[in-house]
Homo-oligomer: A and B are copies of this chain.
Amino acid sequence: MKTIKFPEVSQWSVLSKRPSLTESEVNKTVSSILQDVLNEGDVALLELTETLDKCKLSNLQVSRKEFLAAKNKISQKLKTAIQTAFNNIEKFHLSQREVPQRIETTKGVFCWRKSIPIERVGLYIPGGLAPLFSTLLMLGIPAKIAGCKSIAICTPPNKKGDIDPAILYVASLLGIDEIYKVGGAQAIASLAYGTKTIQKVNKIFGPGNQFVTKAKEIVSSEGTAIDMPAGASEVLIIADEEANPEFIAADLLSQAEHGIDSQVVFVTDNINIINCVKHNISKQLLTLPRRDIITKALESTLFILFKSIEECFAFSNQYAPEHLIIALESYEKYVDMITNAGSVFLGQYACESAGDYASGTNHTLPTNAHAKSYSGVSLDSFMKKITFQTITIEGIQNLGPTIEILAEAEKLIAHKNAVTIRLNTINNEK
């Protein structure tokens, strides 16, 4: 937990730097996995699952029986909590639907856009330390609202060949019955290239470790769309002396428990609150089961003291954090200063966990400063917008001469001709 006092603006870019991965080894492993799946299909998936997940499968796809069994393994308490989160996420993503607007740009020239679902999407749900059924809620709900015709889920099985019942339960709630027991880069390969069992998809969503991330990067450069480039999870908190150091410590710790590469940054204009937050971190840490991971993550944590709250916001915009918590009572005064962030949490009670699980916003967000140019996952991510136009006889008479002049200036005479032929035909028919 380093504390930096009053850094010069020239130092900000170094302070904003995320650790870079040593890539070449990952690149080689992932390329070879992708090639295997491309060449050998299901056989490669079964072999890789045996080697990497230590699990010998006879079937890649989850059976109806497994779905039914899962339902009984989930407590009523968890079912109710999942339903509450489901409703909030659904409500917020439903509000993102757009009503097509038909615009008459010139008399007789009508243009509009229509959102159309991406036909088939693949959702990657990581296994690893914990079953992330919340990620399935965050991806599955907008996919369903968008109207994607077919949705495939890939998630790694445990050593017994089972998928966590909470993931199966959420899939049932969503009405998704196509789940494959495949994880890692091989899952991304199967979704991008297709195998006998797994039909290829048009777009791949979901987080994962560095192998999954690299695989998504490669298949994306080959033409399969992906949700966004990925990196380690991040939070930046801005607070002043009036903020509650106990709350801030808890929020910093919740970010740190994601993994040893989690990026945790605290910025303020007050040195006392830095000391109080550090004290609270040490205290709270003792009770947390993931304290080993957290302690490692905290090694690179930055506490930065700036001269003013305005400077804190300027730095935050340069850092462009995935999660930005504004722990200020007077946040309304500052909210318009925010230009780069994935998702913003305003005030004392909007903790990051709320957005991670249940408030309604999506938790799949741009990391690694990509918030400067990318948005988080939303309803839009599962649709593409097609533009339409229609032109009446009056419309082509009004706009045609303009098109002719512009096409000629670009020396595209066949473009001009497509208008001229129409105008001549209209004139001859008069």
Contacts and interface: CB of A to CB of B under 8 A. Distances in A.
A410 B354 contact: no
A389 B345 contact: yes
A30 interface: no
A350 interface: yes
B344 A246 contact: no
A84 interface: yes
A170 to B, nearest CB: 11
Interface stretch (A54-62, A99-107, A269-277): A99-107
A389 B421 contact: no
A339 interface: yes
Interface in A380-418: 380, 384-393, 395-396, 399, 401-403, 405-407, 409-418
Given A389-B354, A410-B132, A119 B372 contact: yes
A316 interface: no
Interface stretch (A42-50, A153-161, A249-257): A249-257
Interface stretch (A4-12, A174-182, A306-314, A355-363): A355-363
A150 interface: no
Contacts of A101: 95
Interface string A89-123: 00110011010010101100101010010110000
A376 to B, nearest CB: 6
A229 B222 CA distance: 10
Nearest to A220: B221
B389 A109 contact: no
B289 A357 contact: no
B119 A96 contact: no
Given A288-B413, A342-B386, 5 more contacts: A81-B401, A109-B354, A111-B361, A166-B409, A354-B391
Interface of A: 77-78, 80-82, 84-85, 87-88, 91-92, 95-96, 98, 101, 103, 105-106, 109, 111, 113, 116, 118-119, 129-134, 166, 202-203, 217, 220-221, 223-225, 229, 244, 246-247, 250-251, 253-254, 256-258, 284, 287-290, 294, 331, 335, 338-362, 366, 368, 370-376, 378, 380, 384-393, 395-396, 399, 401-403, 405-407, 409-419, 421-422, 425
17 contacts: A80-B402, A88-B109, A106-B358, A106-B359, A109-B359, A132-B410, A133-B410, A202-B372, A223-B370, A254-B414, A335-B388, A344-B386, A347-B390, A349-B393, A355-B387, A355-B389, A371-B386
